[in-house]
Structure 1
């Protein structure tokens, strides 16, 4: 049996196997198109009038005969309810992806002459929980057990690092532009250890945007020739032209059954790419910012994905980062190779020995609990490597409280209601005691697949409760960045609201302490003659929400009664 690495792409799918045999370590590319030469499989599915299915190149050929029976590009629709129509029947992105993965499994088992044990599947770094879950579901439908999902840029970094075998730690920036998406990740590599420092992606930026603009130029050209309606298959011809222009100064394709010659120069393609550069640079800048390191500390630049073959794009990114990109890496196979290395569990060490690989991803957004007056207490900060865990004690806010509510939120705002609530549960059976005397340990744990488990336990009674939240990482980088931008815009207002909430918490604790002193002073030598008046003043200020007066009273009375501010 063997483990497989799969790069399930928007346009093409690639798979590889890394095997250990008699001390030898090697990677084998699976010829997914059949035979012994075709490495990649076109991520395309076609159905004829009899609902007979075709995949890969065969599907592309059938598209000309049955243009209404083809579905492609369904990766970008994963995790949605979108349905593709094919000759009157409807198919989900999960179903279509499962068809491609089934073909991958069949070809791999045939080539390896063995049964598939499991697979590591690469997904875009920005993929949310629904998209990741849809990918797992597609694999399950195809009969593939998913060992792990890995982000595409991280897989590319592993592929490169496996060959260089250096002792020194390096910060690697991976830019991955596929057909439908763009991913950028900063990965720190040292020996067998890989740590994702920061990532960012754009769901609507990829090679297909170039294809669409080339297609628009073709349509303008055909209109001038009065060729209306447009012939079928223009988008496919646009993609072919883009690929040719990645290698030549000028290229041509033949459009429609009349075989109308259309010529385009690399300069025209460069103009299209140049209009996309601001969005490309934003992805790079945001990923570096999220990583917490400066641009000058990037040691290695890797460009992957089919679009990375365009010289103008390649050199523009090099110039923008002032660093030369790695040349000896195949941008179309690097992700599959890295996935297969991770699937094998081993990597080449700097001393020539083979070592177990260790990969740490990160939590993209902070996770925390909401406490009194809507204050969000961060339990696991953003960019914390996973798996991770943190425990913190909490207490009751009322005398003889019978249960506590644990509200779990995700986001960067200081107030709980401004973040996204992702879970809530109650812990009952806690020890009956005055306010603040019960210790409840709350633990947040995130496993390697991004699944969050929150546990609350009363250390006195042993009562405990937990909730597992497997959709807590469902926000893509655009959503994450939007929330971070809100932090900047609303920073002043957030700070004021948090300060007011903290004063209110402090005042309520003061009132509780004053009442305790009043009850105890009957048997104490110390007598506070004005304590009942002070209790009344604090109580009225709390009821009227007089923050300014409460701030003054807490400062004065805590000092006067010798109380320590514990909040």
Structure 2
């Protein structure tokens, strides 16, 4: 078997590593650098450029250059160039092919297998899209692994002591935080959280906006519609950001940036670190929520952390490091390379999967990796409730089954509606798949036994199946890229659950109460019908009135607008009807 390479497929830069002589090493790019820009370009002559060569020509060829495609994974985004539509998987595959070629040149042998990393908060569709990109590139993707987990794997190899570690991963386009326990050769992810649309690109954009605004103030020229000028500004903004990690101020000089009345206009601006920190302070503050959420889900306090690892180029920003100190009370560890550790961890996992696993320091045991799923998975049940089968932060791989039944009498088919997210009501979560189980043996409501099974593999990719235990009929679905969940939607999943926790609680109570009320109304209708002759006329009239009163409240109740006051009215009407029904039964 050949070598299994580890690939960190990044938003801004990508990196590839392999295990050589029992240690992970970074494979240099064709230009000799340790990382490869995640940029693809098409020249007007039809040539395809990948990496550094694509990045260098972006200024003169902006509308045929694609960067930061990782932010579009799992969506229907595409870019049309020369009559061809390029999807995120296709562009990502081009980057992966370049990394594969670099690895083959380095090793002197063909490479066909890889472990590829993704943000911990990538959903099922995004993971599948990444795996598809690997397949397009000619790679058998042995495992999709979360980036913070991979970084911890790289760190855990060289540190034998048992400890809980926070991985704070702020890259070019995504932010993840994971709490990971390392001990006795086992690396176990306790929790994960994040923001799929927060990273270095957003920091760059703030500097770009500032530059455009300053230039407009000074020269009364709006550069935002000038493609070539904007590409130069973007490059200058990224460079300024990097320089401000080491210096207190930087000079942004761009000669011949525009023309005013036929005369060339040059840019010469000074940006201080303090100004930059003011521009991005709210972005840095956005990392606080996921950090606190991950600690809470892991059930630990910052004081219980043994180490905080910084991953991703954006963690070099001093204000980011200061935020981490404030949130954890700890000095972040400086003994791993934030650009390389994710790829090295992936290479370690690849070596382990190939059967040539490395051993952890101190214990001498083979490393065992236990990862988690980032979001809860549910199916829709009666009343529009999202009934969870797998909770977020469940250890992978995971398989869970639950028995359900029919809601209406003599149903011969049921719709299985698969959801992802943290809200208790189905409509507030994201639909990631639907399928129908047919051939159910006709029976009264509640009699058929339908077993629904969720199966998530080690890559975090989901398969859902439903089986009628009486007839043995079965139907299943593997969630594919046709069932898309956008980055904005997944970002909101946890936040919405927190913001609307009170509202959600009322809705869940309403579903239960309405279900009980409907049963009572059915009993009352039967009693009225059965007691036409023998029931006291006054009691029968009271029973009819109480039934009508409860039915009016139930019909009027709208889950999207329900409040505690309405629920109290329904409870009171239900109690009144129960009392009258009890009298009628004596």
TM-score when normalising by structure 1:
0.81
Give the direction of change, closer, same or farther, for the CA distance of 1:186–1:440 in structure 2 (3 Å limit): same
Correspondence for 1:491 among 504, 508, 525: 504
Work out the CA distance in 1 between the residues paired with 2:53 and 2:448: 68
Correspondence for 2:34 among 25, 36, 39: 39
Deviations 1:215-235, CA, capped at 9 Å, x for gaps: 344445555764968656121
Work out the CA distance in 1 between the residues paired with 2:255 and 2:316: 27
Work out the CA distance in 1 between the residues paired with 2:409 and 2:40: 65
Work out the CA distance in 2 between the residues paired with 1:85 and 1:460: 51
| Contact 1:77/1:93 (<8 A) preserved | yes
Deviations 1:401-426, CA, capped at 9 Å, x for gaps: 65555444444444545555542423
| Contact 1:98/1:141 (<8 A) preserved | yes
| Contact 2:404/2:449 (<8 A) preserved | yes
Correspondence for 1:298 among 295, 305, 314: 305
1:146 partnered with 2:156: no
Aligned position for 2:9: 8
Compute the displacement of 1:429 (Å). Answer: 4.1
Work out the CA distance in 2 between the residues paired with 1:539 and 1:469: 50
Work out the CA distance in 2 between the residues paired with 1:300 and 1:329: 12
Work out the CA distance in 1 between the residues paired with 2:143 and 2:47: 32
Compute the displacement of 1:121 (Å). Answer: 1.3
Q: Give the superposed CA RMSD.
A: 3.9
Local SS of the residue matching 2:172 = coil
Aligned position for 2:121: 126
Equivalent positions of 1:166-205 (< 5 A) are 166=161, 168=162, 170-205=163-198
Work out the CA distance in 2 between the residues paired with 1:447 and 1:513: 50
Aligned position for 1:213: 206
Compute the displacement of 1:494 (Å). Answer: 0.9
| Contact 2:40/2:67 (<8 A) preserved | yes
| Contact 1:367/1:408 (<8 A) preserved | yes
Give the direction of change, closer, same or farther, for the CA distance of 1:425–1:537 in structure 2 (3 Å limit): farther
| Contact 2:451/2:468 (<8 A) preserved | yes
Aligned position for 2:74: 79
Please, which moves more after superposition, 197-206 or 335-344? 197-206
Correspondence for 1:364 among 344, 355, 375: 375
What is the count of residue pairs matched by the alignment? 538
| Contact 2:43/2:64 (<8 A) preserved | yes
Work out the CA distance in 2 between the residues paired with 1:267 and 1:551: 65
Deviations 1:150-177, CA, capped at 9 Å, x for gaps: 22222212211121122x2x33222222
1:426 partnered with 2:441: no
Please, which moves more after superposition, 85-94 or 199-208? 85-94
Please, which moves more after superposition, 233-242 or 60-69? 60-69
1:441 partnered with 2:451: yes
| Contact 1:443/1:456 (<8 A) preserved | yes
| Contact 1:3/1:344 (<8 A) preserved | yes
1:111 partnered with 2:111: no
Higher relative contact order, structure no. (Cα contacts within 8 Å, ≥ 6 residues apart): 2
1:245 partnered with 2:255: no
Work out the CA distance in 1 between the residues paired with 2:312 and 2:68: 15
Give the direction of change, closer, same or farther, for the CA distance of 1:13–1:418 in structure 2 (3 Å limit): closer
Give the direction of change, closer, same or farther, for the CA distance of 1:252–1:554 in structure 2 (3 Å limit): same
Deviations 1:48-85, CA, capped at 9 Å, x for gaps: 33122222222233334544443322222333343446
Structure 2 runs not aligned, ≥5 long: 224-228, 258-265, 555-569
Give the direction of change, closer, same or farther, for the CA distance of 1:508–1:193 in structure 2 (3 Å limit): farther
Equivalent positions of 1:245-264 (< 5 A) are 245-256=244-255, 262-264=269-271
Aligned position for 1:521: none
| Contact 1:69/1:87 (<8 A) preserved | no
Local SS of the residue matching 2:372 = strand
Give the direction of change, closer, same or farther, for the CA distance of 1:560–1:15 in structure 2 (3 Å limit): farther
Correspondence for 1:382 among 381, 392, 395: 392
Aligned position for 2:288: 281
Work out the CA distance in 1 between the residues paired with 2:418 and 2:129: 25
| Contact 2:187/2:367 (<8 A) preserved | no
Local SS of the residue matching 1:256 = strand
Local SS of the residue matching 1:384 = coil
| Contact 2:197/2:491 (<8 A) preserved | no
Please, which moves more after superposition, 502-511 or 418-427? 502-511
Compute the displacement of 1:140 (Å). Answer: 2.2
Give the direction of change, closer, same or farther, for the CA distance of 1:342–1:557 in structure 2 (3 Å limit): farther
Give the direction of change, closer, same or farther, for the CA distance of 1:492–1:539 in structure 2 (3 Å limit): same
Structure 1 runs not aligned, ≥5 long: 519-528, 563-567
Aligned position for 1:322: 329
Aligned position for 2:565: none
Work out the CA distance in 2 between the residues paired with 1:433 and 1:46: 61
Local SS of the residue matching 1:358 = strand
Local SS of the residue matching 2:241 = helix
| Contact 1:365/1:410 (<8 A) preserved | yes
Compute the displacement of 1:338 (Å). Answer: 1.4
